A = this chain, B = another copy of it.
C-alpha cells in the first residue's frame, strides 16, 4: 500500500510536508505543493483514514441504527440520514435491530469498537435504555429518532404520535364510526403508547366509551399473521373501523380482512400511521397519518453533527414533527343500516 512516506520520498520532502499539503495546514511553497500533489496523483495515493482516526481521535464515521430498512418509513428516514451525512462529510455505518434490543446491543458494541463520532438511534423500545446508557457511558453523542425512551434525556427528532392518532380517530368518528378497534404495537414502545393515548383521548372527547376488547397489542413488525382479527370479529358488537398503529400492521390487517371476505372500506374502514410511498403512488388507497420520514433522518443527522462539532454543549433539543392526515379511500362513512 502506498503511504505518506512513499509520497514524501518520491517528492523529496518529509512526510510532514506531505501531510500539510493534504490537509492544507501550515505554510508550504506553491512549488512544493504542486510537486507533492503531482506525486500523489501518479502514485494513486489515498490517505488511510484509520491511521488518521487514531491520531485525530475522530473517525468521521456516524452510525444509523433502525429497526428495519424494509419498512418504507425507515427507508426514507435512512435516505435523509445518508444524504445529510454525505453532505456534511461523514461516512455512514448501518444496522437493523429488528425491534430486538439484543440485536441492538450487538450493534452498539460494534459501533463502540468503531469509535464512531456519533449515532443516529431509532430505539427498538424502552428496553433500549441500557443500550443508550452504554453509549452515554462511552461518551458517544447520539440523537434519538422516532421513539423516546423513558430515562433518557437527549436530542430527539420524533413525530407527534398522539396528535396524529387523534386526527385519525377523529376522522373515523366524523364518518360515523363508534366501534373503532386499535391494532397497536407493543406498549414497550413510546409511539405505541402515544398512539394509544391519542386514540383514547379522541374517543373520550367524543363521549365514546373505550372498550378494551377492541384493543390488540402486536409488535410493529408482526403483520403477517392476522389471527388476532378473530377476536375482534367475534365480538358481540364488532368494530366497524380499525386504526392500525403503523403501515405494516395496516397491511396485515387488510390482508387478513380480505382473506375473511371482509371488504375494505365497504365492510370495514381502516386507517393507519405512516404512509406506503410507492404503494400510495400506485394506488392511493390507504387513509393515513403520514410522517415526514426523510426529515426525521435529515434533521436528526443535522442535530447530531451539530452536537458533535459544537464547542459548547447547547441545550437538549426536541423536535416534534407533525403528521399529515391524508384522506384516501380505505375508510368510508358508516351507512345508516349499521348505526
Bound: A138/B68 CA distance, A = 33
> A50-B50, A53-B50 are known contacts. Are A282 and B286 too (CB-CB below 8 A)?
yes
User: Nearest residue in B to A255 (C-beta to C-beta)?
Assistant: B281
Q: Which residues of B contact A61 (CB under 8 A)?
A: 93, 114
Bound: A241/B194 CA distance, A = 47
Q: Are A278 and B95 in contact (CB under 8 A)?
A: no
Any B CB within 8 A of the CB of A212: no
> A51-B54, A96-B82 are known contacts. Are A46 and B278 too (CB-CB below 8 A)?
no
- A interface size (C-beta, 8 A): 54
Bound: A113/B64 CA distance, A = 20
Q: Which residues of B contact A283 (CB under 8 A)?
A: 279, 282-283, 285
Any B CB within 8 A of the CB of A28: no
Q: Are B279 and A282 in contact (CB under 8 A)?
A: yes
User: Nearest residue in B to A103 (C-beta to C-beta)?
Assistant: B86
Contact string, A157-200, partner B, CB cutoff 8 A, digits 1/0? 00000000000000000000000000000000000000000000
Any B CB within 8 A of the CB of A109: yes
Bound: A110/B51 CA distance, A = 14
Q: Are B49 and A114 in contact (CB under 8 A)?
A: yes
Bound: A110/B75 CA distance, A = 22
Any B CB within 8 A of the CB of A76: yes
Bound: A106/B114 CA distance, A = 22
- Chain A residues at the B interface, C-beta cutoff of 8 Å: 1, 44, 46-51, 53-54, 57, 59, 61, 64, 68-70, 72, 75-76, 78-79, 82-83, 86, 91-96, 106, 109-110, 112-115, 137-138, 247-248, 251, 254-255, 276-279, 281-283, 285-286
